Structure 1
Amino acid sequence: MRLIFTALGGYGHSFPLIPLAVAARDAGHDVGFVTSENFLPEIEKAGLAAIPAGISPQEAFIEELEKVEGDPRALPPEELYKIMGRVFGESLPRAFAAGLEPVLSERRPDLVIYEAMNAGGAYAAKRAGIPCISHNFGRMAEYDAGDEIRERVRVTAAEFGVEGELEAAFGDPVVDICPGSVQTPEFLATAKRIPLRPVGWSAAGDLPAGIADRDRDRPLAYLTLGTQYGNSDVLTAAIRGLAVLDLDVLVATGPTVETALLGEVPSNVRLETWVPQSELLPYVDLVVHHGGSGTTMGAFGAGLPQLFLPQGADQLANAEASVKAGVAVQVVEDELTAEAITEKARTLLTDTAVHDAARALAEEVAAMPSPAEVAVSLPAYG
């Protein structure tokens, strides 16, 4: 079977498609992965045929922000939402649809699997008369900019003769990596759902020295704000709050935070720019993070308690759902102090009810179909 996977690239929501694409290749399918230029190295590291198309979300945002008079950082939220609407509802879909059309014409795939936020993937496939399915990146949460994106998507969808809503995958089946117990009830009630176990993927890399053979009697906290939401003030408060506990702290600062801004850290804290997260989580006892879908789903699968420090986008919704599931607590911006983080982290490490809930959720994740199992079922959708 000839398959095309397509993702926007350049941000965390594109990574969840890689495990299924790899499994599809290993199952004998002819797989091509179409994405923006800056994400091609990640696809190549996975051993997949990488095909450039479209532009990255970062490029699209730069184009929009260049039109702003004055300092873009001073824009009120409603203006930022409009920019997000134009980026995800117009700029990216049009660019990807245009880039995908010649690829689909040349390769004539039997099925297109498009990232849930990549409407252009659906437009190009439907215009070419090729069956397609969506692949989400976690819980189907409502964004602050949801109304703006929804309205802009309606405009571009009409241009391509497509009916329906992006959030409903235009009526297409959806590969869903979120365990049902924490997925949005409305989505569960209406979607043509293809459950898929969330399997983390990161480029091959070595764990920091001493992690794999460390003393497991001493807890290890993993602190990250992901690749897009780095904030030195938040990281500093979290480091101070965690370091006073009897544990070790591994911090992935991400590409947007200069470690010098964090100052001198205590001896039980280690700073790394990047770690292979999927390989690290089995050695971790507590995850302290922003609430990105990748880290949230990874912690679910690893059966780990989570302390959320949500920064934006879908992170608040992920935090709220995880708290409701009994596997997490959150510290929102107005309450974010080192002392609050100390208290919450101590509770998560010792609360048996949280650990029981986390184990139960991990068992639910383990029972979901694996990428290999879903890969062999893909011909049914072509």
Structure 2
Amino acid sequence: MRILFSCRPAHGHFFPLVPLARAAREAGHDVVFATGPSFLDHVRALGFEAHAAGISIGEAETEARRRHPDAEVVTLLITMFADLVPRATLADLTTLLPRVKPDLVVYEQSDTGAAKAARDAGIPVVSHVIGRSMPPAIMAMAAEHMAWLWDGEPPADLMLGDAVIDIWPDAVRDPEVVKLPTVIRQRPVAVDLDVPMPELNAERPLVYLTLGTVVFGATEVLRTAIGGLARLPVEVLVAVGPGDPAVLGELPGNVTVAGFVPQAKVLQRASLVVHHGGTGTTLGTLAAGLPQLVLPQGADQFVNADALVEAGAGTKLVGPEVTADAVETAARRLLDDGAVREVALEVAAEIAGMPDPAAVVQRLTALVRGS
């Protein structure tokens, strides 16, 4: 079987697909990726064939601002994600699919143009959940502008494909996904880049701090968080992804800064994770059974933070609440709070029992064969 995976050109949209893509390849299937031109090298670096499709978020934002120079943020976002981005992906995949000839298309949930391209070509298509649904009011507004994806009136469940792969455990599961008719559960699996583990003081508890790979102007948030965490008797490891560590300036002696880190290995060593609420870090931390302090910056990070707080697996600080004093207080409490850690360990046990990507590959094979 030949499977085409489609995603937006960003690590947070690509990494969640990698475990399933690797499992498919290990099972003998032919795996191909389609993503924005700027991200092809990142995909190929992990050994996958990759083809250009779609545009970057930056390109979409530039065009949206050109069309609506005085518009509010919501209008710009809807123009970008309900129109410009999916139409660009649709156009490119309409040309690419007849050349690649996949038996199945798997797209990360936001890459909706890929779903329409596959459906128009008569190819089975499956959505791969990465984050949680946006608030209902925003979803309803976006659906009005996305009716073209269904060639008319969208269905009540907004489902685009033949099935949905859900990587969220029950404790923090998206209730909108639960409602969908065909859902395949899959254990979230960490993806580590081939980068060295930083040298750390093994005698102190480790607090891992990251705001992910797409930072919404969050350098000051990182500095503030570092200021609070460095006051504690801990070792602080800060990962800035593709950002420049130098922008953080001079740092306290118990703080180490790196670009990318082997996150799964870091989580094995950590006692607490302070992060932005991105899907990969949220699920990775839950799988490791660790408490979380979330400082959401944009996108679905706010709803991820809410889900963690509601489940009792962590706490959050939002906007002006993020001060050095507040970070210090929250982190100190989470390091000592046995109840939060117990919830995190329960979720970790649940994740360990979810089907692995290899089992999901078998489900997808059966779906394509109609068995």
TM over 0.5: yes
CA distance in 1 between partners of 2:242 and 2:136 (Å):
24
Amino acid at match of 2:38: N
Q: 1:228 to 1:148 in 2, by over 3 A?
A: farther
CA distance in 2 between partners of 1:302 and 1:68 (Å):
44
Amino acid at match of 1:57: I
Aligned to 1:128: 121
Deviates more, 1:138-147 or 1:324-333: 138-147
Amino acid at match of 2:350: E
Equivalent of residue 100 in structure 1, options 93, 98, 107: 93
Give, in angstroms, the shift of residue 164 of structure 1.
3.1
CA distance in 1 between partners of 2:46 and 2:137 (Å):
33
Aligned to 1:342: 328
Aligned to 1:79: 72
Q: Secondary structure at the match of 1:190?
A: coil
Given the two structures, how large is their TM-score scaled by the length of structure 2?
A: 0.92
Counterpart check, 1:117 vs 2:103: no
Structure 1 residues 269-280: aligned runs within 5 Å: 269-280=255-266
Aligned to 1:23: 23
Aligned to 2:46: 46
Q: 1:60 to 1:68 in 2, by over 3 A?
A: same
Aligned to 1:72: none
Give, in angstroms, the shift of residue 106 of structure 1.
2.1
Structure 1 residues 234-273: aligned runs within 5 Å: 234-256=221-243, 258-273=244-259
Amino acid at match of 2:62: I
Please say if residues 305 and 327 of structure 1, whose CA atoms lie closer than 8 Å, have aligned partners that are also in contact: yes
Counterpart check, 1:312 vs 2:294: no
Q: Secondary structure at the match of 2:224?
A: helix
CA distance in 1 between partners of 2:162 and 2:366 (Å):
13
Give, in angstroms, the shift of residue 259 of structure 1.
4.0
Q: 1:202 to 1:157 in 2, by over 3 A?
A: farther
Deviations 1:211-264 (A, max 9, x none): 4xx52x5210111111222412211111111001110001113445x5444332
Off by >6 Å, runs of 4+ in structure 1:
none
Please say if residues 168 and 191 of structure 1, whose CA atoms lie closer than 8 Å, have aligned partners that are also in contact: no
Structure 1 residues 1-382: aligned runs within 5 Å: 1-67=1-67, 69=69, 79-142=72-135, 145-158=138-151, 163-164=154-155, 168-170=158-160, 172-208=162-198, 210-211=199-200, 215=202, 217-229=203-215, 230-256=217-243, 258-382=244-368
Please say if residues 82 and 148 of structure 1, whose CA atoms lie closer than 8 Å, have aligned partners that are also in contact: no
Q: 1:282 to 1:168 in 2, by over 3 A?
A: farther
Given the two structures, how large is their TM-score scaled by the length of structure 1?
A: 0.90
Please say if residues 22 and 48 of structure 1, whose CA atoms lie closer than 8 Å, have aligned partners that are also in contact: no
Q: 1:260 to 1:205 in 2, by over 3 A?
A: closer
Q: Secondary structure at the match of 1:34?
A: strand
Q: Secondary structure at the match of 1:169?
A: coil
Taking only the aligned residue pairs, the percentage that are identical comes to 44
Give, in angstroms, the shift of residue 162 of structure 1.
8.3
Deviates more, 1:132-141 or 1:244-253: 132-141
| Runs of 5+ unmatched residues, structure 1 | 70-74
Please say if residues 42 and 203 of structure 1, whose CA atoms lie closer than 8 Å, have aligned partners that are also in contact: no
Deviates more, 1:275-284 or 1:350-359: 275-284
CA distance in 1 between partners of 2:298 and 2:12 (Å):
14
| Runs of 5+ unmatched residues, structure 2 | none
Deviations 1:326-348 (A, max 9, x none): 11011121221111111110111
Please say if residues 124 and 161 of structure 2, whose CA atoms lie closer than 8 Å, have aligned partners that are also in contact: no
CA distance in 2 between partners of 1:377 and 1:162 (Å):
30
Amino acid at match of 1:26: E
Amino acid at match of 2:352: A
CA distance in 2 between partners of 1:359 and 1:202 (Å):
22
Give, in angstroms, the shift of residue 146 of structure 1.
3.2
Deviates more, 1:230-239 or 1:146-155: 146-155
Q: 1:29 to 1:254 in 2, by over 3 A?
A: closer
Deviations 1:290-331 (A, max 9, x none): 111111111111111100111121111111110111110111
Amino acid at match of 2:351: V
Q: Secondary structure at the match of 1:342?
A: helix
Amino acid at match of 2:94: E
CA distance in 2 between partners of 1:36 and 1:186 (Å):
28
Please say if residues 322 and 328 of structure 1, whose CA atoms lie closer than 8 Å, have aligned partners that are also in contact: yes
CA distance in 1 between partners of 2:272 and 2:207 (Å):
5
Give, in angstroms, the shift of residue 350 of structure 1.
0.9
